[in-house]
Amino acid sequence: MLSYLNRPRKIRREAQNSGLLQVEYISGKVFFTTNAGLTMLKQLKSAERLFLLLKRQPPLIIPSGRKGKIFNEIQRLVTEDPMCWVHAISIWRSLLELEEKLPLEVSKPHKRTARENENIITKKLKIEQTLVMLGDTECQLEKQKNDKPQEHENLKTEKENFQEESENDGEKGADHQGQFTFRVSCRCSGTIAKTFTTEEVGRVIGIALIKQFGWKADLRNPKLEIFIHLNDIYSVVGIPVFRLPLASRAYIKVAGLRSTIAWTMASLAEINVGAVVLDPMCGLGTILLEAAKEWPNAYYLGADVSDSQLSGACDNLKSAGLVDRIELLKFSVTELPLLSKSVDVIISDIPFGKKFKLGKDIKSILHEMERVLCVGGTIVLLLSEELHRNLQGGKESNVLWNSSKANTDEFKIPKFVNDQENNGIQENVSSSSEDHRQECLDQEPIFGTLVQMESHKVSLGRTEAFILKYKKIHASGLQQPS
Ligand SMILES: C[S@@+](CC[C@H](N)C(=O)[O-])C[C@H]1O[C@@H](n2cnc3c(N)ncnc32)[C@H](O)[C@@H]1O
């Protein structure tokens, strides 16, 4: 999940280009409304998951020592508005049918075909405007905006409604005994996580749904999965639109870096037609795969010192049909067999875990990257928080990094609180290449001739990391130290 404080401008652009409306970025989730078809939504490369939004409300208030009361509050999240469920389940069913008709691997379709597909889907759904909540890359749909409130007494009970639908639906939502099966997936963080375990919350919600709708819990193979996310910022309930997360790419055989992060890094790198793109620590090749799929008209090179990683990368290239477009080399990042200034773009995930220790220090790595990069070229790196901190003025600052304003979080990374105040819609990077050029000139290089352009904090699940973007400027553009 690309869940975080800053969303690179490209991700915003992706949202705009995908026909998402009323886009709101809030703490790792993107809420939006859309008329876009499934084909278009399935191509959201920076998103982990897409959900129909059933409920979004402020965080639950947790009074100390009153567990029973809070359980009631939690249950109300799913019981308060039964008609919303009736509506959402019917949309979900339609989407399920449509998804079955989508090609398995959605490669970037020809424009006309995409539009045709969308028209068909839109017509079929007969939804004028469906309010969608996109979670971090979870996305969710909400009930139709213009729905008129309905009188409950005129309706069958929700239990009857669902049971009847299940009987009519057969395979679509019910198991062999005609019961609709479900599973609840919870994520709790912040205050609520200090009082309840996710299992407790899941159980409470599950019981409420069984009572309310007569569904049957099935943890192994449910027809419907319900996602609940409770934290100090919001409480949300959603249903996944697609069976598989958007982030799972059919063409990746052996998973390395999260594909959403790899795609985001590539999207920041400004890969032009004919560019030479290098990942000098390519591992299983995820960054190169994501880049080559999206920007096919460039030359891709990957290097790594590990035979097993290169062999995994090779398998991935074969399975993605990209063997002819990506070349793999066994070389160290500190001794690349490339001419100086021969590469336009470098994108790399710098190792920081236990598995891949940084043998040589970051200085030698940056030195070699700077050497092979052409003037005006771009480097996009994924760095651990620790490495990022060190580079930003910690231990290594005196040797390598000038403490320019460009390198501080304050300058490049707006505080989260600002993000919220502005509904998360905040440009933290300059908006044109002209601005970028000016910024380049204004800044002192952080290393040699490399100038930092952007910095984005991202979540890797358990840990957080930074995507840093640098540009190489001409040595003559450097200011002499005073
Ligand atoms: C974090 S992993 C990269 C993962 C990759 N992005 C993927 O999706 O699989 C870092 C990689 O750097 C490689 N590595 C470590 N030291 C290296 C060096 N000196 N030169 C080149 N590669 C190196 C490791 O073998 C490992 O594959």
Average pLDDT, the chain: 73
Residue nearest to atom 20 of ligand 1 (CA): 332
CA dist., res. 105 & res. 110, Å (int): 14
Is 90 exceeded by the pLDDT of residue 88?
Answer: no
* Distance from the Cα of residue 452 to its chain's centroid: 23
Tens-digit pLDDT profile for residues 46-71:
888 899 999 999 998 877 767 778 88
Q: For the domain bounded by 259-477, which CATH number is listed?
A: 3.40.50.150
pLDDT-derived band at 353, boundaries 50, 70, 90: low
Q: Which of the two residues, 100 and 50, has the higher pLDDT score?
A: 50
CA dist., res. 157 & res. 154, Å (int): 9
The mean per-residue pLDDT over the stretch 398-408 comes to: 31
Q: Which pLDDT score, from 0 to 100, does residue 371 have? A: 96
Residue nearest to atom 5 of ligand 1 (CA): 283
34-43, 82-91, 220-229, 234-243: least confident range: 34-43
* Cβ within 8 Å of residue 35, ≥6 positions away: 19, 21, 122, 127, 128, 129, 130
Residue nearest to atom 26 of ligand 1 (CA): 283
Q: Which two tokens stand for residue 226?
A: 């319900």
pLDDT-derived band at 397, boundaries 50, 70, 90: very low
Tens-digit pLDDT profile for residues 188-246:
989 899 888 999 999 999 999 999 999 999 998 898 999 999 999 999 999 998 888 88
Give ligand 1 pocket residues (Cβ under 6 A): 256-257, 280-281, 283-284, 286-287, 303-306, 309, 332-334, 349, 351, 356, 359-360
Give CB contacts under 8 A, 24+ apart, made by 159-166: 159/212, 159/213, 159/214, 161/86, 162/86, 162/89, 162/213, 162/214, 162/215, 163/214, 165/89, 165/90
Q: Which of the two residues, 443 and 92, has the higher pLDDT score?
A: 92
Task: Among 277, 284, 304, name the best residue to mutate to test ligand 1's pocket (greatest count of ligand atoms within 8 A of Cβ).
Answer: 304
Residue nearest to atom 3 of ligand 1 (CA): 283
Task: Among 259, 281, 329, name the best residue to mutate to test ligand 1's pocket (greatest count of ligand atoms within 8 A of Cβ).
Answer: 281
Beta strands in 241-279 (DSSP E): 276-279
pLDDT-derived band at 387, boundaries 50, 70, 90: confident
Task: Among 356, 358, 365, 367, name the best residue to mutate to test ligand 1's pocket (greatest count of ligand atoms within 8 A of Cβ).
Answer: 356
Q: Which pLDDT score, from 0 to 100, does residue 32 have? A: 86
- Residue extent(s) of CATH 3.40.50.150 domains in the chain: 259-477
Å from CA of 63 to ligand 1 middle: 48
Q: Which of the two residues, 131 and 69, has the higher pLDDT score?
A: 69
Q: Which ranges in 183-333 belong to alpha helices (H)?
A: 191-195, 198-213, 259-268, 286-294, 307-320
Q: What is the dihedral of CA 102, 107, 110, 112, to 10 degrees?
A: 30
Could you tell me if 439 and 433 are in contact, meaning their C-beta atoms sit under 8 angstroms apart?
no
Cβ burial, residue 327 (10 Å; 0-12/13-18/19+): middle
